[in-house]
Amino acid sequence: MGQRKAGPKRRSECPLNASVEMLGDRWSLLIIRDIMLRGFRSYKQFLESYEGIATNILANRLHILQASGILTTRHDPLDGRKLIYALTRKGIDLAPVLTELVLWAAAHEKTGNQPLVRLMQKDKSRFLAEIRERWKKGAVYERLITERRKARATRPG
């Protein structure tokens, strides 16, 4: 487990309340899903998701997720005006929670994406390990990009 830091003032000290205050709407969970499972990284990709989030809601949820330490941002190395979104360690730790939500919904509701559900059901531990491995590779890539940018910035002129 990661170290706990003091967060915003909450309605109660209940751990479920803290979770709901950070993630308590469908849009936040869908944004996390899109990063975790679909590899989305840009604002434009989130807007194009098939659930159809409004721009003002997307901007608000991205801000909340970043302020909650679930997402991090950096400038796109190809276009410095754009931001790239990524899950933090705290964010990737939600993978088992999202997996259980998917499996719960598939067991109790008529849902789509049965190949994903079957993959999760077949070997949940392996599925989660692959999610975490993709996240680690992304984190390594992000560090390399940052180091290259710093090296270029410090090169004599």
Kindly report, residue by residue over 42-72, the tens digit of the pLDDT. 999 999 998 999 999 999 999 999 999 999 9
Residue for token pair 């990063």: 35
Sequence-distant (6+) residues with CB within 8 A of 21 are 8, 10, 11
Confidence label for 132 from pLDDT (cuts 50, 70 and 90): very high
Topology of domain 15-154, per CATH? Arc Repressor Mutant, subunit A (1.10.10)
Tell me the sheet residues that pair with 85.
73
| Predicted pLDDT of residue 13 | 74
Domain ranges in the chain?
Answer: 15-154
Evaluated on CA atoms 96, 101, 104, 106, the torsion sign reads negative
Contact (CB, 8 A) for 73 and 96: no
Whole-number pLDDT of residue 150: 66
- Looking at per-residue confidence, does 151 or 58 come out higher? 58
The predicted model gives 117-125 an average pLDDT of: 94
Chain-centroid distance, C-alpha 77 = 20
d(CA 64, CA 52): 19
Q: Of the candidates 21, 3, 11, which has an alpha carbon nearest to the alpha carbon of residue 88? A: 3
**d(C-alpha 157, C-alpha 151), whole Å:** 12
Statement: residue 152 has pLDDT above 70? no
Q: What is the pLDDT of residue 5?
A: 59
CA 96 to the chain's CA centroid = 13
* Position with higher pLDDT, 70 vs 11: 70
The confidence score (pLDDT) of residue 79 equals 86
Beta bridge partners of 84: 74
